[in-house]
Amino acid sequence: MAGTSEDPVPAEEQLARHLREPLPPQPYWRVSQYADTIENAWNDNERYRMLISDLPRRFHQSTRDRQEYALAEAPRLTGTNWDALLAATAEHIAITHDHPVPDWCDDPERSLKIYWMPLPVFGKRFPGVVYRDTPGAFLRHGVLVADRELGPREGHQDYGALFEK
């Protein structure tokens, strides 16, 4: 590098500097933003995965303060059964992480009178085991999910998420 007074920084030093720098702060997100997902998803499979896997995984990765922030604002109603699934998921992750259940989860519009399975994975048969194994928050909102859909921390392991120790 003729004409410059700076020597190039070796790659090892660049890496060491990068590892010492603090990670950028997580962007703030809210459960209420998932109403957009309900309305704009390509299909029911995408809606289901975003509500049953992405939302709990993102919640689990957040700090406690950010979890409280994420639960505070009520999502707008879309007028679909997916409102019940969103409320059930929010209630479930709040209970799992020792937060109070948000008041908006108790809105009657966020519960179904007839049980609903978001994805018809069992066809016309209805195995009683699904009802038995569905977490209480989902039953309260009238939504049936198979227990295999919720991992130890609501499915985050399925996506290979990295967690800072």
CB 32 within 8 A of CB 75: yes
* Residue 162: closest CA among 19, 60, 33: 60
pLDDT surpasses 60 at 19: no
Question: What residues contact residue 73 under an 8 Å CB cut-off, 6+ apart?
Answer: 30, 31, 32
Between 156 and 120, the higher pLDDT residue:
120
State the SS3 of the chain.
CCCCCCCCCCHHHHHHHHHHCCCCCCCCCCHHHHHHHHHHCCCHHHHHHHHHHHHHHHHHHCCHHHHHHHHHCCCCCCCCCHHHHHHHHHHHHHHHCCCCCCHHHHCHHHCCCCCECCCCCCCCCCCHHHHHHCCHHHHHCCECCCHHHCCCCCCHHHHCCCCCC
pLDDT at position 165: 37
Average pLDDT rounded to a whole number, residues 25-50? 86
Between 16 and 62, the higher pLDDT residue:
62
pLDDT digits (tens, 9 = 90+) for 62-74: 889 899 999 999 9
pLDDT at position 160: 35
Between 126 and 153, the higher pLDDT residue:
126
Confidence of residue 133 (pLDDT cuts 50, 70, 90): confident
Q: What percent of the chain has pLDDT over 90?
A: 47
Q: What percent of the chain has pLDDT over 70?
A: 69
pLDDT at position 126: 64
What radius of gyration do the chain's Cα atoms show?
A: 21
pLDDT at position 104: 97
**What gap in Å lies between CA 35 and CA 83, rounded to an integer?**
8
pLDDT digits (tens, 9 = 90+) for 84-103: 999 999 999 999 999 999 99
